């Protein structure tokens, strides 16, 4: 569905189950996401992703050169029931090399321009400084902090406006 310089991004399908389970079972990935998920909860989550409603999108990210599974990105309804949230989980092997920024940037652009969403939000624990830096580097603005799931969460947002950070950050890159 999408291609970046180094990644293939395709809609999640049943044949991706085994690889996608890796992100739910990886301690380092899950440290800011409530911990490792139990096997039967993973199966239910993956079934839900496979039977998604049209407005909720889940993508598998693969490294182009060798087609290695890297992670998962989604556009889904946020806990507030109003906004659309972008979420991402990459295996640690792929951290720190710009892959998440490369893919998340393309998905944000798609959400705002192709899907016509008024804004996209992201929620991450404030303790997850790498994720906060990534969102800020992508032009997302900190809207507020809240306490949810027993931890302080940062809510970031981005929208298209003539003078927005989005326009300045992405218009020339995409």
- Domains of the chain in sequence order: 2-170 (3.40.630.30)
Q: At what angle do helices 99-109 and 129-137 cross, to 10 degrees?
A: 50
| Lookup result for tokens 């969460």 | 153
Predicted model pTM:
0.86
Residue the block writes with tokens 């092997």 = 93
pLDDT band, very low/low/confident/very high, at 39 (cuts 50, 70, 90): confident
Q: For position 161, what pLDDT does the model report?
A: 72
- Which of 5-9, 45-49, 56-60 shows the highest mean pLDDT? 5-9
What's the pLDDT at 34?
Answer: 83
pLDDT tier, 157 (very low <50, low <70, confident <90, very high otherwise)? very high
Q: Is residue 174's pLDDT more than 50?
A: no
């Amino acid at each position: 569905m999408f291609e970046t310089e180094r990644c293939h991004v395709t809609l999640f399908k049943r044949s991706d189950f085994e690889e996608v389970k890796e992100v739910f079972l990886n301690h380092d990935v899950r440290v800011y996401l409530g911990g490792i998920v139990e096997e039967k909860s993973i199966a239910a989550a993956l079934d839900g992703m496979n039977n998604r409603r049209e407005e909720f999108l889940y993508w598998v990210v693969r490294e182009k050169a060798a087609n290695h599974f890297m992670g998962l990105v989604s556009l889904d309804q946020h806990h507030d029931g109003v906004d659309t949230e972008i979420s991402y989980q990459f295996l640690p092997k792929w951290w720190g090399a710009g892959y998440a920024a490369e893919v998340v940037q393309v998905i944000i652009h798609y959400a705002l321009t192709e899907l016509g969403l008024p804004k996209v939000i992201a929620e991450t624990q404030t303790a997850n400084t790498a994720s906060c830096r990534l969102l800020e580097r992508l032009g997302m603005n900190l809207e507020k902090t809240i306490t949810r799931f027993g931890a302080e969460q940062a809510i970031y947002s981005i929208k298209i406006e003539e003078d927005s950070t989005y326009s300045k950050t992405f218009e020339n890159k995409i």
